[in-house]
């Protein structure tokens, strides 16, 4: 079977700075793939091009064998390519469960406001409850996201993305800013997604958690792929250890 996503020779520059210089890799169906590399390697830039948040100067993104390079992010979301932001952005005017319902009602109405006012409300609420349960947020359902600590707000961000039924979920540093216990909880939750039909492409600095939960790694350095393989294969390479950790 072909790859779920194929990233082919992406180039992009900001002013004179090349943030991606021929980035190519595939995301296989059902895998948990992590994109790692030192600061400024181009990880977030690559993820934004896959999501449709940034147009490459050159290169193509294929999702499910379709060339989606020209599609904006919202059109990719409709095809099943979801993403979360590094900085969490819940709707603070809505309760936690309503935040998930806005996404859960997406298949019934294109207008998110109608998703919580129309007859589909009950179905969306049930779906949102199930997702909040899975993400350990059932007790916080009726609270404002403002009242939630960062660890729970980050889980809400992933819960909202899941409610859109993605087949591929792009996660940008979901563990950033979390305590080590919270990071482990979040990594364990993300680890369950491929078993539920959601392929994961993760950008993450927390190498310990990445090595624990990822199936495969792609290492970026200076806008290029320097290595890919299982965590064991990749971390056995001296050039990767030097670029990524500064230790040979």
Ligand X SMILES: Nc1ncnc2c1ncn2[C@@H]1O[C@H](COP(=O)(O)OP(=O)(O)OP(=O)(O)O)[C@@H](O)[C@H]1O
Least CB distance from residue 37 to ligand X, whole Å? 6
Q: Which residue number, 45 or 199, has a Cβ lying nearer to ligand X?
A: 45
CB of 39 to ligand X, least distance (A): 4
User: Could you tell me the smallest distance in angstroms from the CB atom of residue 192 to ligand X?
Assistant: 25
Only segment of 39-47, 73-81, 110-118, 147-155 that touches ligand X (CB under 6 A)? 39-47
Distance of CA 30 to the CA centre of its chain: 14
Backbone φ, ψ for residue 145 (5° rounding): -55, -20
42, 82, 105, 166: which one contacts ligand X (CB under 6 A)?
42
Looking at the Cβ atoms of 48 and 76, the one nearer to ligand X is 48
45 binds ligand X (CB under 6 A): yes
The candidate with the shortest Cα–Cα distance to 65, out of 21, 125, 3, 107, is 3
Q: Which stretch binds ligand X (CB under 6 A): 11-19, 70-78, 121-129, 140-148?
A: 11-19
Comparison of 39 and 196: residue with beta carbon closer to ligand X: 39
Binding of residue 210 to ligand X (CB under 6 A)? no
Please report which helix (H) or strand (E) contains residue 162, including its range. helix 150-162
* 168-172/58-63 β-pairing: unpaired
Return the DSSP state at 146: G
Q: Are 144 and 120 in contact (CB under 8 A)?
A: no
Q: Which stretch binds ligand X (CB under 6 A): 35-43, 95-103, 125-133, 236-244?
A: 35-43
Structure tokens belonging to residue 59: 């290169």
Q: Which candidate, 48, 10, 44, 45, places its Cα nearest to that of 26? A: 10
Nearest to 137 by CA among 191, 190, 96, 95: 96
Q: In angstroms, what is the minimal distance from the CB of 18 to ligand X?
A: 8
**What does residue 67 show for φ and ψ, rounded to 5 degrees?**
-80, 110
What minimum distance in Å lies between the beta carbon of 19 and ligand X? 3
Using rule CB under 6 A, residue 174 touches ligand X: no
**Interface with ligand X, residue 37, by CB under 6 A:** yes
Q: At what angle do helices 150-162 and 180-191 cross, to 10 degrees?
A: 10
The stretch among 21-29, 38-46, 152-160, 224-232 that binds ligand X (CB under 6 A) is 38-46
Q: Assess contact for 225 and 25: CB atoms under 8 A.
A: yes
Among 40, 59, 80, 177, binds ligand X (CB under 6 A): 40
Backbone angles phi, psi at 58, to 5 degrees: -155, 155
14 binds ligand X, rule: CB under 6 A = yes
Contact residues for ligand X, defined by CB under 6 A: 14, 17, 19, 37, 39-45
């Amino acid at each position: 079977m072909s790859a779920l996503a194929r990233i082919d020779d992406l180039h992009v520059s900001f002013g004179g700075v090349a943030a991606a210089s021929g980035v190519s890799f595939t995301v296989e169906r059902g895998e948990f793939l992590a994109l790692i590399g030192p600061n400024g390697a181009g990880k977030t830039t690559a993820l934004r091009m896959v999501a449709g948040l940034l147009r490459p100067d050159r290169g193509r993104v294929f999702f499910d064998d379709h060339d989606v390079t020209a599609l904006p992010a919202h059109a990719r979301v409709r095809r099943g390519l979801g993403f979360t932001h590094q900085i969490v952005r819940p709707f603070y005017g809505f309760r936690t469960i309503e935040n998930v319902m806005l996404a859960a009602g997406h298949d019934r109405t294109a207008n998110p406001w109608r998703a919580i006012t129309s007859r589909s409300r009950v179905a969306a609420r049930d779906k949102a409850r199930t997702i909040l349960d899975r993400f350990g947020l059932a007790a916080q359902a009726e609270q404002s996201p403002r009242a939630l600590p960062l660890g729970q707000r980050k889980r809400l961000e992933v819960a909202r993305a899941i409610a859109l039924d993605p087949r591929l979920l792009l996660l940008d540093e979901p563990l950033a800013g979390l305590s080590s216990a919270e990071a482990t909880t979040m990594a364990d939750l993300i680890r369950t997604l491929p078993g539920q039909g959601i392929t994961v492409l993760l950008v993450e600095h927390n190498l310990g958690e990445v090595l624990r939960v990822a199936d495969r790694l792609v290492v970026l350095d200076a806008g290029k792929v320097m290595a890919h393989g299982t965590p064991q294969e990749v971390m056995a390479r001296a050039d990767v250890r030097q670029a990524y950790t500064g230790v040979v």
